[in-house]
Amino acid sequence: MAPLLEIRDLHTEFRTGAGVVRAVDGISYTVEPGETVAIVGESGSGKSVSALSVLRLIPDPPGRITHGEILFVGRDIMQLSDEAMREVRGGEIGMVFQEPMTSLNPVLTIGRQITETLEQHRGLDRAAAQKRAVELLGLVGIADATRRLKQYPHQLSGGMRQRIMIAIALACDPKLIIADEPTTALDVTIQAQILELMKDLTRRLNVALIIITHNLGVVARYANRVNVMYAGRLVESGPAAEVYHNPRHPYTMALLRSVPRLDRPRQERLDPVEGQPPDLTRLDAGCAFRPRCRFAVEVCAGARPPLAMAGGPGHLAACFQSHVVGRETGAAA
Amino acid sequence: MSAAVSEARPLLEVKGLRMHFPVTEGLVSRRLVGEVKAVDGIDFIVRRGETLGLVGESGCGKTTTGRCILRLERPTAGEILYDGVDVAKMERKELLALRRRIQVIFQDPYSSLNPRMKVGDIIGEPIKVHGIESDAGRRTTRVRELLSVCGLDPRFADRYPHEMSGGQRQRVGIARALALNPEFIVCDEAVSALDVSIQAQVVNLLEDLRERFGLTYLFIAHDLSVVRHLCQRVAVMYLGRIVELADSDELFGHPLHPYTQALLAAVPVPDPSVEAHRTFRPVQGEVPSPINPPSGCVFHPRCAIAVAGCKHARPELRQLRPGHFVACSEVR
């Protein structure tokens, strides 16, 4: 079966005062129907830009997708007209962003924002759209739908607004939802509610989900597969359990070791990733993680390591030393 | 803990602290229509040399508590005894002296550093303002020393904040807090804005500094795993009140209050195998408004074990195990 989404060698650049930033520097990955894929990385790793590129939401200027194919249900999104792209966005691909207050329109009622989507993408009339909106609010666990539909975003709590965003994302029966840090702005108990809701709905409705996050716990709980990004590139990719238990890239390994865990005895000291994140305007020809890497050897300075098979099936890592990393993590496991 | 330590006067003693903010209506003649009970009667102590964690979700009052201790707010009621003297009643001169002893590290290194000042001047400013070192040359030496204590190259003194990464900026914020040799530091979400890989570096730095300079911390945060790592004791706040307070191991090992239990259950563990076998139902509902908080126990509308009485009586903190205090009438 063909994947739902296939990204091939995507490059997105930004022209800044300090030079050209290759925010996404040649990434390729796939998403199968109904699965949840997490993209993890830290600020500046390119995780959000890669997702916005899929939606062709990169502001130009200063940004530009310079290369790559984005095949969604067999069509190359890069070749679509702007109008056709608007149909895809919010139609076949739903979106949930971090800050629902800024992604909802403050001067339109909740109801109007949902029915607008339905009228535009589905050609429903007012009454049918209204009926579907009530249904959608029920789906995302909002009681008292008729009253809520008449309210404005500022009258709702952060968690409630995020439920509305999910309702809008689901409105046109999408095949894929892209969620960019959907719960980062929320408190931990509300985060849990929203993530459980998204998991439940995507499973029930067989919607694929790309979830972009920096939270390693969220990935562990919700993702089938995980893509780890560093300095604009995918450094590791594979089934979540495999990547977590047998990481083959030094960055992934170090990242997982650096977080304190509630389920383990308290450590004497944390084991941080040393050094600073790279300056994307000053990358050289070698591996971008090299200055922080204790496995680095001479060859790492000469070229960027390509993503290659490592460990079990479907497990890829972009590291010349991944066999050495594997010996260490394998021994620890 | 030895009897000598526990009997000594705590460095900080907070008694019946309340901070209510007025809510007004009307543009010309403002009428008082209510108040936000940001902090609504809390008691705790911080012992010399320990790190006390203050955790809870947004709006629980943890940051306001920190601001009252720093006297950035004047509390509505209650006492804040710092080394025996009430901070809430201090006059200007005493406050100036207090600020040498108590410092703060804020969450956001982007907005808490003046972008037009060089890093060296940012760190040197408190030394100058407090008249500790009037000689510019010696001040420069001190600034360089502080930078290197915080793991930064002393040459960073000539840079501007925007030339640094988030982690480096937070180290500058820490160096500035240390400039006056304080004994007590309020860390308000001090590592929350940092990337995962940098967070551990700064957590380790804070621990090193505590040991090296004998510091005492009030560590305000919402990330429970970091709090467990860094704190000896932890107080959990909900809607302006402390609902549970215990030694860190005890609190995380045997949480007793239903809210603490819900909070801990909501944190996903970074391990897919652990998560695959963990079933949990997130606590329902949202945090109610502090303008009109629920009667009785403020957690009762969301609580799984609430009984009729919880609507009426406000539960006080009770000691259920040695050093373990819980504000819940249903927990035994």
CB A181 within 8 A of CB A170: no
- For B273, the closest of A188, A241, A272 (CB atoms) is A241
Each residue's pLDDT tens digit, B167-199: 899 999 999 999 999 999 999 999 988 888 899
Examine residue A306 and state whether it is found in any structural domain, yes or no: yes
| Mean pLDDT (whole number) for A218-235 | 96
In the predicted structure, residue B4 carries a pLDDT above the cut 70: no
In the predicted structure, residue B27 carries a pLDDT above the cut 90: no
Examine residue A318 and state whether it is found in any structural domain, yes or no: yes
SS (H, E, C) B221-241: ECCHHHHHHHCCEEEEEECCE
Per-residue pLDDT at B332: 84
CA atoms within 13 A on the CB side of B115: 5
Per-residue pLDDT at B258: 96
Q: Indicate the length of chain A as a whole number.
A: 333
DSSP codes of every residue in A74-143: TEEGGGS-HHHHHHHBTTTEEEE-S-HHHHS-TTS-HHHHHHHHHHHHH---HHHHHHHHHHHHHHTT-S
Angstrom distances, CA of residue B157 to CA of A278, B74, B148:
21, 35, 10
Q: And the tokens for A320?
A: 């010349």
Examine residue B298 and state whether it is found in any structural domain, yes or no: yes
What is the pTM assigned to this prediction? 0.91
- Of B197, B198, B196, B217, whose CA–CA distance to B206 is shortest? B217
CA atoms within 13 A on the CB side of A30: 13
How many domains, in total, are found in chain B? Answer: 1
Q: Residue B195 corresponds to which amino acid?
A: D
Q: Indicate the length of chain B as a whole number.
A: 332
**From the CA of B194, how many Å to the nearest CA of chain A?**
9
Examine residue A62 and state whether it is found in any structural domain, yes or no: no
- For A192, the closest of B165, B228, B266 (CB atoms) is B266
What CATH number should be reported for the domain holding residue B165?
Answer: 3.40.50.300
Q: Residue B233 corresponds to which amino acid?
A: R
Residues in chain A with CB shorter than 8 Å from the CB of B196 are 42, 214, 216, 255, 258-259
Per-residue pLDDT at A100: 67
Per-residue pLDDT at B327: 97
Each residue's pLDDT tens digit, A281-307: 888 999 999 999 999 999 999 999 999
Examine residue A305 and state whether it is found in any structural domain, yes or no: yes
Which residue, chain included where needed, has tokens 């002893």?
B101
How many domains, in total, are found in chain A? Answer: 1
**From the CA of B144, how many Å to the nearest CA of chain A?**
20
Each residue's pLDDT tens digit, A203-215: 999 999 999 999 9
Examine residue B332 and state whether it is found in any structural domain, yes or no: no
In terms of C-beta density within 10 A (0-12 exposed, 13-18 middle, 19 or more buried), how is residue B99 classed?
Answer: middle
Examine residue A325 and state whether it is found in any structural domain, yes or no: yes
**From the CA of A129, how many Å to the nearest CA of chain B?**
28
Query: B1 pLDDT band (50/70/90 cuts)?
Result: very low
Per-residue pLDDT at B33: 83
In terms of C-beta density within 10 A (0-12 exposed, 13-18 middle, 19 or more buried), how is residue B92 classed?
Answer: exposed
Q: Which domain holds residue B115?
A: 3-326
Q: Which domain holds residue A247?
A: 235-262+285-333
Angstrom distances, CA of residue A208 to CA of A216, A279, B301:
20, 33, 35
Each residue's pLDDT tens digit, A15-38: 988 889 999 999 999 999 999 999
Per-residue pLDDT at A90: 87
More confident residue, A98 or A220: A220
Q: How confident is the prediction for chain A on average, in pLDDT? A: 92
- Of A109, A49, A61, A163, whose CA–CA distance to B285 is shortest? A163
Per-residue pLDDT at B7: 55
Backbone torsions φ then ψ of B273, nearest 5 degrees: -70, -40
Examine residue A239 and state whether it is found in any structural domain, yes or no: yes
Do the Cβ atoms of B198 and A276 come within 8 Å? yes
Examine residue A290 and state whether it is found in any structural domain, yes or no: yes
Instruction: Find the range with the poorest average confidence among A121-125, A289-293, B155-159, B279-283.
Output: B279-283
Interface test with B, best of A259, A274, A282, A289 (most B CBs within 10 A): A259
Each residue's pLDDT tens digit, A104-140: 899 999 999 999 989 988 889 999 999 999 999 999 9
Angstrom distances, CA of residue A316 to CA of A38, A157, A306, B24, B308:
15, 41, 9, 59, 56
Examine residue A19 and state whether it is found in any structural domain, yes or no: no
